[in-house]
Each structure stands twice: as C-alpha cells, then as structure tokens.
Amino acid sequence: MKKEDLKLAEKILKEFNKYIDDLQEMGIDLIETPIFHCFGTLFDLLIKSHYRREGQDWINWYFFEKGDREDMKAYDENDNEICRNFDELYDLVEDYER
C-alpha cells in the first residue's frame, strides 16, 4: 500500500473514532451497532488486501492500541524500541506486503 494511502486510512479512522466519541458524549452509543461493525469490517478488508497477518497485526496494534499513547511501546529482539511513529510503522509493515 502506498504510504499516503495508509496515512489517509489512519486519518479516516481517527475521524470516525472522534465522531463515535462525540456521539457517546451526547448519550448515543454506536459501538454495538451494525454501523460500527461494518466500518470495522471494511477497515479489516482494506488492511488484509495489502498485508499478510504480521503486517495486519502491527497496523491494528498501532492504530487501535498505541495511538497517541507514549506509554505504549514495542521492542525488537534486541530490546530496541520500534514502531514509535507512523513512519516507523510504515517501514515495518512494508516487509509484510502481499
């Protein structure tokens, strides 16, 4: 996947999550609805069409767990921190492209 396309997917995911959060603050919970499920399914299909399982796992970890959290870290086999930002994520998942 082109870097700018994965960056756009990240941007759209962040916007979607912000809309969900804003609606929850208004008392509208969409988490257990078909809308939320369909968006997640489409995102998974997009990632699966471009990356093998390892790449999918890294993208999901970065987008859904790490996000902007500074306390969420990943390390390589030599205890060097990896995947600290989007550019490092992209460099990492390039090895797992289909």
| Helix 86-93, helix 53-60: angle, nearest 10 | 170
Cβ-based burial of 61 (10 A; exposed 0-12, middle 13-18, buried ≥19): middle
Contact 13, 20 (CB under 8 A): no
Q: What is the pLDDT of residues 15-74, one digit of tens each?
A: 999 999 999 999 999 888 998 899 999 999 999 999 999 999 999 999 999 988 899 999
Q: What is the pLDDT of residues 80-96, one digit of tens each?
A: 999 999 999 999 999 99
pTM for this predicted structure: 0.86
